Amino acid sequence: MVTREEQEKVVLARIQNWAGSREAAEDWLVNFRITSLGGLTAQQLLASGRAEELQHFLDHIELGGFA
């Protein structure tokens, strides 16, 4: 089973390039509210067991979709 910390590392690795830095990616993980996912942050989604939904959202963004 993948731990929440491991899930956070995966998300941080995915968003670091477009966030610009590790620090910016960490800020996004904790503070950016994702409207299409109920206004929760990525960290809140991971904590509530919604990692798969978050990954789908990141897939959408990487394909050029809007947040």
Q: Any idea where the domains of the chain sit in the sequence? A: 4-61
Evaluate whether 60 touches 43 at the Cβ level (below 8 Å).
Answer: no
Cα separation, 67 vs 52, in Å, equals 16
How high is the pLDDT of residue 67? 61
pLDDT above 90 (res 2) = no
How high is the pLDDT of residue 15? 92
pTM over 0.85: yes
Task: Assign 40 a pLDDT band (cuts: 50, 70, 90).
Answer: very high
Token readout for 50 is 């919604």
How high is the pLDDT of residue 18? 86
